[in-house]
Amino acid sequence: MTVFEPFEAFGDLGEIAERLASEDPSVRRLAVLDLVETSSEEAVPLLAHAARDVAPSVRQQAAQALGEFDGIDVARALTGAVLDPDADVARAAADSLAELRDPAAGDMLQPLATHSSAFVRAAIFRALKALQVDTSLGPAITALGDSDSAVRVQAVGVIGYLKKTETLPSLIRATRDEAGEVRLAAVNALSFARNDVAAQAAAAALSDREWQVRAAAADAIGRIGQASAATALVGSLADSYWQVRQKAIQNLGRLRIRDAVDAIVAFLDDQLPSLRKDAAAALGDIADPRARDALTVHASDEDPDVRKTVAWALGQIGQG
């Protein structure tokens, strides 16, 4: 199997290039691993060649190895590998594409954003998210209407990472998507806006049919930092899932909502130590003297983490 002539043209990598010409695919695969160990940019052309090897195992290893490098040549090799007919090779290429950090690669990737394969479209938007190039915003917004939910999830990621206020209406629409994973991604992306419109959209998501979305909405309200959504957050203290109740407690504390003190105090008696601890922490964040007596009663909680947090909270109130 002749691949490179002469091998000496690759200098210190010549010996590895020679092994890439072996008839044995296992030898070629090990040569790919050795290329990564060199950490040399001169390895990229050899890896790009290996990504087109006749053996899928070699192509997969090369696609994975390219993730250790960056630049246009890497992007070019990976855009070819993500189209590979072998699913393992394509997945490895998709993972490596997400590691690209050279914004110049964006122009090369974007034409594939409308590829016939949903897998390829999702992989491209996943890569564009990390690159954070403004030119990917238009294609991402268009992709919110894609027939494949995985593509829509990655498109939401692009929009969220770019943090453009003008995209907020598109994100809000995505919080009502038919697919839960899309709604979850959109709710998580809302917090960049830090305004009342985003807060109210997150508050609406507290009624989502999936608890993961409701938990993310409670967290988003706290990160957005708008107390205007606090009333809805207090309502989530009665959610049927403890994970949602926990996020509500944490973020009421983050927002320092004094009107929630009595409701949070009730969680000092919860059967779950994690909720008792979070309740104490939230009361410490709010630092309202009305919580002092209840915290004092629970200073001897059976859980050491709860006791420690209660002591801290009492200290916070004492400093207020």
d(CA 270, CA 301): 11
DSSP 232: H
In the block, tokens 């690209």 appear at: 100
Q: Which domains does the chain have, with CATH numbers?
A: 1-99 (1.25.10.10), 256-320 (1.25.10.10)
Q: What is the pLDDT of residue 306?
A: 98
Q: What is the pLDDT of residue 305?
A: 97
Measured distance between the N- and C-terminal CA atoms of the chain, rounded to whole angstroms: 77
Q: What is the pLDDT of residue 320?
A: 54
With contact defined as beta carbons under 8 Å apart, do 221 and 233 qualify? Answer: yes
Cα angle 277-280-281, degrees, rounded to a multiple of 5: 85
Q: What is the pLDDT of residue 2?
A: 42
236: number of Cβ within 10 Å: 24
Q: What is the pLDDT of residue 14?
A: 84
With contact defined as beta carbons under 8 Å apart, do 208 and 214 qualify? Answer: yes
d(CA 38, CA 36): 5
Name which of 304, 307, 303, 309 is nearest 282 in CA terms.
309
With contact defined as beta carbons under 8 Å apart, do 171 and 195 qualify? Answer: no
At residue 200, what is the residue type?
Answer: Q
CA 243 to chain centre: 19
Q: What tokens appear for 78 in the block?
A: 């990976």
With contact defined as beta carbons under 8 Å apart, do 64 and 91 qualify? Answer: no
| Helix-then-strand count for the chain, H and E | 20, 0
Instruction: Sort 307 into a burial class: Cβ within 10 Å, 0-12 / 13-18 / 19+.
Output: middle
Q: What is the pLDDT of residue 11?
A: 54
Q: How far is residue 11 from each of residues 37, 197, 258, measured CA to CA in Å?
A: 16, 60, 69
pLDDT tens track, the chain, 320 positions = 444 544 444 556 888 988 999 999 999 999 999 999 998 899 999 999 999 999 999 999 999 999 999 999 999 999 999 999 999 999 999 999 999 999 999 999 999 999 999 999 999 999 999 999 999 999 999 999 999 999 999 999 999 999 999 999 999 999 999 999 999 999 999 999 989 999 999 999 999 999 999 999 999 999 999 998 999 999 999 999 999 999 999 999 999 999 999 999 999 999 999 999 999 999 999 999 999 999 999 999 999 999 999 999 999 998 65
With contact defined as beta carbons under 8 Å apart, do 248 and 236 qualify? Answer: yes
